[in-house]
Amino acid sequence: MSRSDYSSGMVELRIPAKAEYIQLVRTVIGEVASINPNLNLGRIADLRLAVSEAVTNAYREHTRQNIEDQIVIRCDLSKGKIEIEINDQGAGFNPDQIPSLPDSEDPNRLNHESGVGFSLIQELSDETVVEVGEEGTKVRLIFNLNDA
Amino acid sequence: MTLELKRTVYSPWLVVSVFGEIDMGSSPKLRTEIIRVINEGHSNLVLDLTSVDFIDSAGLGTIIGGLRRVRSHGGDLLLVCPQERIQKIFTLCDLDKIFTFYLTHDEAVEDNKEMD
C-alpha cells in the first residue's frame, strides 16, 4: 500500500476534559496509526504514550482553569508522516520554561511525582511543535514513517 | 478505568500485582492502595508490573511517591518489571538509576534478603 492511499486519512476526536477519556484517545489514535504499515509496533507504542501525555497535559490545564470546552485531537496520516494535534483551550506553556528535575541520584528527586511528561513527548516524537494562539494551545506530534 | 490490583504476602514482603494500564485516570487507585498497605503496617513492598500493558508519567509519579512513602517508614519498594517496553519508559525518565528491574518476585526477594 502506498502512502498516497492515506490522502484522506484525517481522524478527529472531541473529548470532555475528564481523565477517563485519555485511555480512549490513545487506544483510538494507536489503532488509526497502525493502519499504516510503515510504523512498527514499537513506534506505535511510543506514539500512544506521547499522545497520552499530551492529552493528560491538556486535561490538567482544563481542570486547573475550570475550562469546560472539549479537547480536540486530530490525527493526520496524509502527509507521508503521522501528525497528531492536541488542541486545548488552556493558557498554554513555553516548553523552554519547564522546570528541570533534580538528578535521579539526588534523594530530593523522590519529592517530585510529576514533571517528566513533556520531556517524554519530546523523546518519543520525531518532532514536537507547541503553538499558543487565539485557538488555544496546539501541541503537534510528528512521527516519521519508515519505508516498509 | 481498567486497573486491577492483587495482594500476595511474600513475608516480609507484600507483593502488589498490577493488571492493566496505569495512567492519569487509574493511578489514583494505585496510590490509594500503596497508602493503604503502608497504613496497615507493610513498608516492604514489591510492585509487580508484569501484567501492566501501559504506563505513563502519572504512573511513574505514583511509583516514585510510593518509594518515598515506604522509605519514610523504613521500608523499600522493589519493582518486578520484565517487559522491556515498560522498562524503557522508566529509563527514558532516568528512573533506572532509582529502581532495579527484577524479572520475578523470587528474584526480587532473593536479591534483598537483608530485609528479612
B67 plus B99 within the same structural domain:
no
pLDDT for the residue A61: 93
- Residue A4, judged by CB atoms within 10 A of its CB (0-12, 13-18, 19+), counts as exposed
Residue B96 lies in a domain: yes
Residue B47 lies in a domain: no
pLDDT for the residue A38: 83
Beta bridge partners of A10: A76
ipTM: 0.90
The answer to whether A111 contacts B21, with C-beta atoms less than 8 Å apart, is no
B36 plus B61 within the same structural domain:
yes
Whether B73 has its CB under 8 Å from any CB of chain A: the answer is no
Whether A68 has its CB under 8 Å from any CB of chain B: the answer is no
pLDDT for the residue A2: 44
Residue B89 lies in a domain: yes
Q: Has residue B116 got a pLDDT over 60?
A: no
Minimal C-alpha gap between B99 and chain A (Å):
10
Residue B83 lies in a domain: yes
Task: Label residue B74 left, alpha or beta by phi (over 0 means left) and psi (-120 to 50 means alpha).
Answer: left
Which helix (DSSP H) or strand (DSSP E) does residue B50 occupy?
A: strand B44-55
Mean pLDDT of B12-34: 96
pLDDT digit string, tens, across residues B79-111: 999 999 999 999 999 999 999 999 999 999 888
Taking contacts as CB-CB distances below 8 angstroms, the residues of chain A near B70 are: none
B73 plus B101 within the same structural domain:
no
Whether A98 has its CB under 8 Å from any CB of chain B: the answer is no
Whether B62 has its CB under 8 Å from any CB of chain A: the answer is yes
Cα pseudo-dihedral B7, B8, B13, B17, rounded to 10 = -50
Task: Give the three cell numbers for residue A106.
Answer: 539526588
pLDDT for the residue B62: 98
Query: What's chain B's average pLDDT?
Result: 94
pLDDT digit string, tens, across residues A88-139: 998 888 888 888 899 988 899 999 999 899 999 999 999 999 999 988 999 9
Query: What's chain A's average pLDDT?
Result: 89
B83 plus B63 within the same structural domain:
no
pLDDT for the residue A3: 44
Cell numbers 488555544 label which residue?
Answer: A136
Beta strands in chain A (DSSP E): 10-15, 71-76, 81-88, 127-133, 136-144
Cell numbers 481522524 label which residue?
Answer: A11
The answer to whether A116 contacts B67, with C-beta atoms less than 8 Å apart, is no
Beta bridge partners of A86: A73, A139
Task: Give the three cell numbers for residue A89.
Answer: 483551550
Residue B8 lies in a domain: no
How many structural domains does chain B have?
2
Q: How confident is the model at residue A6 (pLDDT cuts 50, 70, 90)?
A: low
For chain A, helix, strand, coil in percent to 5 are: 40, 25, 35
pLDDT for the residue A147: 52
Least confidently predicted of A21-30, A138-147, B45-54: A138-147
Minimal C-alpha gap between B68 and chain A (Å):
6
Backbone angles phi, psi at A107, to 5 degrees: -55, -25
Nearest to B21 by CA among A52, A44, A3, A34: A52
pTM summary value? 0.91
Q: Has residue B34 got a pLDDT over 80?
A: yes
- Specify the CATH number for A3-144; select among 1.10.510.10, 3.30.565.10, 1.10.8.420, 3.30.960.10: 3.30.565.10
Residue B6 lies in a domain: no
- Residue B110, judged by CB atoms within 10 A of its CB (0-12, 13-18, 19+), counts as exposed
Least confidently predicted of A95-104, B3-12, B29-38: A95-104
pLDDT for the residue A148: 44
Residue B50 lies in a domain: no
Residue range(s) defining the domain that contains residue B33: 28-40+57-77
